[in-house]
Amino acid sequence: MMIPSEGELFKKILGPEWGKLHPHIQARFDKNPLPGKPLYYTGYLSELTCSRVGRVLGYLSMPFVKGALMPYNDADFPVDIQVYSKRDCAWIFKQRTYRLNARRPVMFTSYMAESPRGEVLEYVGAGLGMKLVLDVRDGNLHFESDGYFWQLFGIRIPLPGLLTPGKTFLCHRNNNANQFDIRIEIRHALFGTTFTQAGVFKEVSA
Superfamily of domain covering 6-204:
Calycin beta-barrel core domain (2.40.128.20)
* Dihedral pair phi/psi, residue 16, rounded to 5°: -60, -25
Q: What is the pLDDT of residue 32?
A: 82
- Residue 106's DSSP bridge partners are 98
Percentage of residues of the chain with pLDDT beyond 90: 83
Confidence of residue 43 (pLDDT cuts 50, 70, 90): very high
CA distance 4 to 163: 33
Contact predicate 28/178, CB 8 Å: no
Question: Could you tell me if 141 and 133 are in contact, meaning their C-beta atoms sit under 8 angstroms apart?
Answer: no
- What pLDDT does 3 receive? 55
CA angle 72, 188, 138 (to 5 degrees): 90
With CA atoms as reference, report the closest residue to 111 among 89, 88, 140.
Answer: 89
Asked whether the predicted pLDDT for residue 11 surpasses 60, the reply is yes
pLDDT class of 167 with cuts at 50, 70, 90 = very high
* Residues 6 or more apart in contact with residue 119 via CB below 8 angstroms: 131, 132
- pLDDT cut 70: percent of the chain above it: 98
- With a cut of 60, say whether residue 198 has pLDDT above it: yes
Beta bridge partner(s), residue 83: 39, 94
Q: What is the mean pLDDT of residues 68-93?
A: 95
Q: Tens digits of per-residue pLDDT, 108-131?
A: 999 999 998 989 999 999 899 999
Task: Report the C-alpha gap between 5 and 34 in whole angstroms.
Answer: 9
- Please, what is the end-to-end C-alpha distance for the chain in angstroms? 25
Domain ranges of the chain: 6-204
Confidence of residue 4 (pLDDT cuts 50, 70, 90): low
